[in-house]
Chains A and B, each alone.
Chain A
Amino acid sequence: MKIRLDNVVKEFETFRAVHGVSLDIDSGELVALLGPSGSGKTTILRMVAGLEYADAGAIYFGDENATDIPVRERGVGFVFQHYALFPHMTVGENIAFGMKVSKIKRSPQAIAARVKELLDLVQLSGLKDRFPGQISGGQRQRVALARALAVDPRVLLLDEPFGALDANVRRDLRRWLRKIHDELGITTLFVTHDQEEALDLADRVVILNKGKIVQEGTPETVCRSPADAFVMNFLGDANRLEAEIRGGKAHVDGIAFEADGIADGSGQILFRPADVTWREDGQGIAASIVRVIDRPDSRRVLAMTRSGQAVEFDTAPEFPHRRGDAGFLDIRRPRVYAAA
């Protein structure tokens, strides 16, 4: 099922949480909505589900305008951030709930068979008669997914599906969700504020800031060509140096960087800590070392440029220099943007 959002707007009282978002999701695609807290991810997801009504714009499921279809009839599977399992029902009853209340009448045997099939799919066959309070967080997450899948939804929506789990469980469940998605081929939209999760799992990443889409594309596109300083910062550690742009060049402390197509005025240069080489002679921006921090596989160096701007970079563990040493920062892959 294709999903299309056309200029969707949502306001809470006077606060505009979503500003005219347009988005196309192909049938069978796995798309991540990525953004900082409060950027409107959950709100968008809830509008797609029908749990929240859009104030303007339209949402299409295939060719059908789904904007005014109530949640009940929209045919979406929604997985809540805190699972929202029914605490008074067993795992089996939770999964069966959607089939029991459905307008499509199923025999108890058919329901039981489907519950078993779903429990196998989420690898929880032995836990059918436990209550949600008696299973772990990761298991609850999988029950929530099975429950959502039980009604054969046209679209699967997940709100921070791994948010409440610890790092190892997250990684496992992530790979596992990808596998299930590939098996079932169901159009899936999930929300996360964890860039690693989005890049790891999604076919396409949609990055949001303050209720607007700032960039969308494959993980490769957003990583290799961040559209602006926000995306660059949000996707990972980044250094920022103030620069002055003159005639297609960005100048910092007397060093010039390529800045094609950026208007003259103040600008900024962003680069990753891994894209800096420390040199003792000549090349690069003059700086001195402020602190050296040891990490299991590398050394993080904090330096200060001559104009007083802080830069952090990563080096091999054998990096010999210490606090106070002077040298030069040789920057690879700098990205130049106009000042915010």
Chain B
Amino acid sequence: MAHHGKGKPPRVGDHPLFRRALLTFVLVLVGLMIVAPLVVIGVEAFSKGVAYFGASIADPDTRHAIMLTVITALIAVPVNTAFGVAAAWAITKHDFPGKRLLTVIIEIPFSVSPIVAGVAYLFVFGLQGLFGHALQAMEIKILFALPGIVLASMFVTAPFVARELIPLMQAQGRDLEEAATSLGASGWRTFFSVTLPNIKWALLYGVVLCNSRVMGEFGAVSVVSGNIRGQTNTLPLHIELLYHDYNAAGSFAAASILAGLAIVTLVVKVALERQGAGRIQRPSALAGADTVTPEVKP
């Protein structure tokens, strides 16, 4: 059209006014909903000076909360990684009855509210719960202690690794593993020399997502941990507690740690996505395609 000046007919939504409006809308929302809160956390955390920030972090209860969160992640992430790899391997490289069902069940934690998971754990391990009396008799403490926190975190993040791996491994098929086996490789050897190198970026991606969720999990953990300050409070729970204590600066200081972690996660995630994780790779030699950029050996 004439007013376009370039002689090209405008496509739908190509009008400059529309474009500007759309862009403004998106930018304002991103600013208000994502950037502003993060900036506020940073500013508030240091509102009473660096010294106060240091003191807030050094507070024994805060330090304990950080430790507890790290320990939880150190247990839950490796276990869920092993689980995710095993589940993805079983589902994509083997046939067994109930495979479809398993695939669906693995995804359940995504669709269940974490608080529901926490309550369910109460019913299973609580005093009035299924194993409550047996556990009490054996003096094993699960609820309101580290095991409960770890279990709840694991439930919530169980699908993360498997979900990254399954589509990729499905697309890769079984040919590579069959080739390795026919050449005489054992199951372990096949996994470590053939399967793992071809899924490593997706695996790392899953681990990073899983970790950031474990460290940030609030709902499920808040139900099973009992919120005991300095004992069973993880970092997210502690932040809430500080906030309710009208200790805004302390709460923001603690929150800035989680926010910092989120930014690190984001950077790693973007770096991994560049390596081709987080989306299905075209298996190059497998499909016999000629156009795939080859992986360059480090």
Contact = CB atoms under 8 A, between A and B. Distances in A.
A151 B183 contact: yes
Given A97-B180, A97-B185, A102-B184, A84 B297 contact: no
Contacts of A97: 180, 183, 185, 193
Interface stretch (B19-27, B46-54, B288-296): B288-296
B179 interface: yes
Given A72-B185, A87-B283, A101-B189, A133 B294 contact: yes
A214 B186 CA distance: 38
B288 A72 contact: no
B181 A86 contact: no
A84 B286 CA distance: 5
B57 to A, nearest CB: 43
Contacts of A137: 288, 290
B14 interface: no
A101 B185 contact: yes
A59 B176 CA distance: 25
B288 A131 contact: no
Interface in A55-89: 71-74, 76-78, 80, 82-88
B198 A88 contact: yes
Given A102-B184, A103-B184, A78 B179 contact: yes
B194 interface: yes
A191 B295 CA distance: 32
Interface in B143-171: none
Nearest to A129: B297
B288 A133 contact: no
A164 B285 contact: no
B284 interface: yes
Which of the listed residues A80, A87, A98 has the most CB atoms from chain B within 10 Å of its own CB? A87
Interface string B205-243: 000000000000000000000000000000000000000
Nearest to B181: A71
Nearest to A134: B294
A133 B185 contact: no
**SS class of chain B's interface: helix, strand, loop or mixed?**
helix
Contact of B295 (A72, A80, A83, A88): A88
A84 B178 contact: yes
Q: Contact residue range for chain A?
A: 35 or more
Given A72-B186, A97-B183, A132-B284, A86 B194 contact: yes
B184 A133 contact: no
Contacts of B197: 88
B287 interface: yes
A10 interface: no
Contacts of B292: 133
A82 B185 contact: no
B52 to A, nearest CB: 51
Contacts of A51: 178, 181-182
A102 B184 CA distance: 6
Interface in A20-55: 49-51
A313 to B, nearest CB: 39
Contacts of A132: 284-285, 294
A80 B295 CA distance: 22
Interface in A103-144: 103, 131-134, 136-137, 140
A178 B108 CA distance: 55
B175 interface: yes
Contacts of B297: 90, 131
A147 interface: yes
B27 to A, nearest CB: 40
Given A72-B186, A78-B182, A87-B198, A133 B284 contact: yes
Nearest to B194: A86
Given A82-B288, A84-B175, A71 B293 contact: no
Nearest to A143: B285
Given A131-B294, A133-B293, A82 B286 contact: yes
Nearest to A51: B178
Nearest to B196: A88
Interface in A244-283: none
B283 A49 contact: no
Contacts of B294: 87, 131-134
A92 to B, nearest CB: 12
Contacts of B193: 86, 97, 101
Nearest to A132: B285
A91 B149 CA distance: 49
A85 B185 CA distance: 14
A101 B178 CA distance: 14
B285 A140 contact: yes
Nearest to B189: A101
Interface of A: 49-51, 71-74, 76-78, 80, 82-88, 90, 97-98, 101-103, 131-134, 136-137, 140, 147-148, 150-151, 164
14 contacts: A51-B182, A74-B182, A84-B285, A86-B176, A87-B286, A87-B295, A88-B197, A88-B295, A97-B185, A98-B184, A101-B180, A101-B184, A132-B284, A147-B179
In order of increasing CB-CB distance, the 8 nearest A-B pairs are: A133-B294, A132-B285, A98-B183, A84-B175, A84-B179, A101-B185, A133-B284, A85-B285
Given A80-B175, A84-B179, A97-B185, 20 more contacts: A51-B178, A72-B181, A77-B182, A83-B286, A83-B288, A84-B178, A84-B285, A85-B286, A86-B179, A86-B193, A87-B198, A87-B283, A88-B198, A97-B193, A98-B183, A98-B185, A102-B184, A132-B294, A133-B284, A148-B182
